[in-house]
Every structure is written in structure tokens, then in C-alpha cells.
Amino acid sequence: MLTKKKSVTEVRKKIAVLCRTILRAAWFSASTLILFSSAQYDKQGFAPNRARHKKRPMQGWILYRDKITAPEIASNAIDRLMESAEANGVSLKVVRPEQIDLVVNAPQPNQIGLDGDLVPLPDFIIPRTGAATSYLALSAIRHLEHLGVYCLNSAAAIAASRDKLAQMQLLAQAGLPVPRTMLAQFPVNLATVQQNIGIPAVVKTVSGSKGSGVYLCRTSAELEEVMMLIESVNRQAAVILQAFVEYSLGRDVRVLTLGDQAIAAMERRAAGSGFKANFSRGGDVLPFEITPEVAQLAVAVAKVFGLDIAGVDLLFDKNGFLICEVNSAPGFQGLEKASGMDVPKAVYDFLRCKI
């Protein structure tokens, strides 16, 4: 009888050991399956946030200028981004800075006030304010950044690049090639200008785009006249004087950078015998091959300012290129025409990687 009980006990022990072994094996198999599935999931490029993008479009805002500085929305770039959004899996709308409630340390996570109502934060914003970025617009961009929204470009990058004198100072400090530039101080000393800049000279306002606020003075008398006129209107006007680059008269190169790549370029030529080559002012655009030299220079310029997207304007020079200026909200109508590049698609592909 004792032997029988002992046998039963031993059998039960063996069964218990076997059950524990089976349970451990089952747990190990399940864990392995989970790990394997996760590895396959990531290997295929469908990380959890990307999976959400497959279920719903990326939600984005284009931040345009406030109504005081731009009563009407007139931008080919905005039109192209809007019309291409749905086909690229993006839900997009245009928002002005004054529509956004800038409340620091607000209690509602992942939400923001828009026109007085709480709405979900967008996945990204594309500021289209450029050189005309107001304090309100810059504050709105910075606020959204602090809330974790990706901004193409950042507030710091836009602020650093909207002043043309500051551009030249930062680029020269980085050892990049720029024309000789000086800040005009009224009354202007023509002898000082002649000594440091030379004649002809280019007169520029420190803020402006699409060729506005730029004038070529071909003689000392013409420069004196223009500067006296500016002084009579506003003695505190912020104006720079820049050396005229003869090799680039009526032509330049615009390079579009996105991240650390130069993705498109064009040569711009002024209409007739004009000085300004801007496409928006009637100039012609031609395809331009992005050489390693041009790509390296353009990307280096964008990196100086921390710009994820930039329009870099280069002047032809006898020894290569000089940097004319950089734009944080570049237009791309001419670029698309000259290069055949689908810029909105490239932008949305880049955004998808960033968020």
C-alpha cells in the first residue's frame, strides 16, 4: 500500500514538473513570437507612428502671414501644397497666427486653441512667412515647437535668416563666400562706400523677397541720389550696400535644399537688359545641373541657419559662386518649371520621415 502511494506521489510530481515545463515553453514561444513580430514590423518600416499614418492622413497646417501684413492669400507655393496634399496622404489647411491662442503651460495636453476652440495639435506646420515674419508669427511657430509639433522651419532658423545683413555676417563667420557688404549709415559717406564696396553698388533693404527692395546704382551720383531719398523718408531705415558682381549681371542660380540635400536648381535670367533675375518679376528660368560644388555650398548655407528647407541664391563669379542670400520660405514655381521636380511631394515625403 505504501509503495502504491509512493508511486502515485512520484507520478504527480512528474506531471507537475511536466506542466511547468510546458508552461515555460509556451511562455517562451509567445515571447519569441511577439519579439519576432515586432522585429518584422520595424524591419518593414511600419513603426507604430507610421501605422497611424496609414489609418489617417498626416494632419498639417500652413502658417501664413497675419492679415495686417497680408490681407489676401496669394501664393503659388501654398496653392501647390494644398492641391497636392490629398494625393500625398496629407490633410492640410491654412492658418494665420492671430487664429492661434498662445497659452503657455495650458492644462490641455495635445490640444491648442484655434479661433477660440480647442483642437488637436497638428502633426506638423509649414511656415510660409519668410522675411516678413512678424513677432506674432514667430511666437506662434515657437509655441507650436514647444508643444512638440514639427516645424518646417523652426522659429530660431527663420529669425536667424530673415535679416540680410545678419545673413552675410553669419555666412562670413562660417567661412563661406559672400560679396563685400556694409550697413549704410546716414548721411552716407560716399568715399567710405567707394573704398569698401566700390561703384557700381547694390542697395538692399535688410528685409525683402522676390527682388523687392533691391536697386543697382551704377554711378556715384546715382548712389548719392538714392541714399539721400531714403534718408529723407526714413533716416533710421535699415539698408545695406553690397559689392556689384559683374559676372552675375542679370542672372543667378536658385538651389532648393531639403534636409541635407540639394533637390532642385534653376538658372534665372532677367528679362531684357534688367538687373533682377527673379522669376516673379518676369525673368526666365532654365534647367541647371546641381554639381557637387553647388550642392555642397547650398547645403552648407542652409546648415548655418538650421534651415530644413531653404532657397539658396548663388551669384556667378569668376572663381565659382558667391552667396547672394537665403530664403526660409522659398517659392518653387520657377523651380518646378525648370527642373520638373514635384516639390510638394518631396516636402511631404520629408515630413513623413521627420514625424
127, 160, 193 - which closes a domain? 160
What pLDDT score does 281 carry? 56
Q: Are residues 117 and 136 in the same domain?
A: yes
Same domain, 189 and 202: yes
pLDDT exceeds 90 at position 87: yes
Same domain, 148 and 186: no
CA distance 183 to 242: 9
**pLDDT of the residue at 31:** 37
Domain endpoint, select from 244, 278, 300:
244
Distances (CA, A) of 15 to 9, 11, 22, 29, 286: 10, 6, 10, 21, 83
* Domain presence at residue 171: no
End-to-end CA distance of the chain: 74
Residues 62 and 145 in one domain: yes
Q: What percent of the chain has pLDDT over 70?
A: 78
pLDDT at 173: 98
Task: Output the pLDDT for position 132.
Answer: 79
Angle, in degrees to the nearest 10, between helices 343-354 and 76-85:
60
Task: Tell me the longest C-alpha to C-alpha distance in the chain.
Answer: 127
All three cell numbers of 189, joined, read: 559717406
Does the structure show a pLDDT above 50 at 351?
Answer: yes
Range of the domain at 188: 180-244
> Per-residue pLDDT tens for 270-299?
876 666 655 555 679 999 999 999 999 999
Residue 138 has pLDDT above 80, yes or no: yes
Answer yes or no: do 142 and 154 share one domain: yes
Work out the mean pLDDT of the chain and round it to a whole number.
83
Lowest mean pLDDT among 170-184, 193-207, 243-257, 264-278: 264-278
pLDDT of 342 > 80? The answer is yes
Strand partners, 279: none
CA–CA dist 83, 333 (Å, integer): 14
| CATH number of the CATH domain containing 111 | 3.40.50.20
Beta-bridge partner residues of 151? 125
pLDDT band at 57 (very low <50, low <70, confident <90, very high): confident
pLDDT at 42: 33
pLDDT at position 73, please? 67
Residue 168 domain-assigned? no
Do 230 and 254 lie in one domain? The reply is no
Question: 126 in a domain, yes or no?
Answer: yes
Distance of alpha carbon 93 from alpha carbon 101, whole angstroms:
17
Q: Using the structure block, give the residue that is written with the C-alpha cell 563667420.
A: 173
Instruction: Please tell me the predicted confidence (pLDDT) of residue 190.
Output: 93
Domain harbouring 275, CATH code: 3.30.470.20
Residues 300, 349 within the same domain: yes
Q: What is the pLDDT of residue 65?
A: 79
User: Which burial class, exposed, middle or buried, applies to 292 when counting CB atoms under 10 A from its CB (0-12, 13-18, 19+)?
Assistant: exposed
Same domain, 132 and 59: yes
What total number of domains does the chain contain? 4
For residue 132, give the C-alpha cell.
Answer: 516678413
In a domain, 13, yes or no: yes
Domain membership of residue 165 (yes or no) is no
What is the 8-class DSSP label of residue 89?
T
Contacts of 250 (CB under 8 A, 6+ apart): 269, 270, 273, 274, 275, 276, 277
Residues 71 and 27 in one domain: no
Domain boundary among 229, 244, 259: 244
Q: Check whether residue 28 and residue 84 sit in a common domain.
A: no
pTM: 0.81
pLDDT at 33 over 80: no
Q: Calculate mean pLDDT across residues 154-165.
A: 94
Q: pLDDT per residue over 179-221, tens digit each?
A: 999 999 999 999 999 999 999 999 999 886 666 789 999 999 9
Mean pLDDT of the region 263-270: 94
User: Is 59 inside a domain boundary?
Assistant: yes
pLDDT at 213: 83
- Tell me, what DSSP letter sits at residue 99? G
Establish if 224 belongs to a structural domain: yes
Measured CA to CA, the distance from residue 11 to residue 276 in angstroms comes to 96
Q: Are residues 40 and 83 in the same domain?
A: no
Q: Is residue 174 part of a domain?
A: no
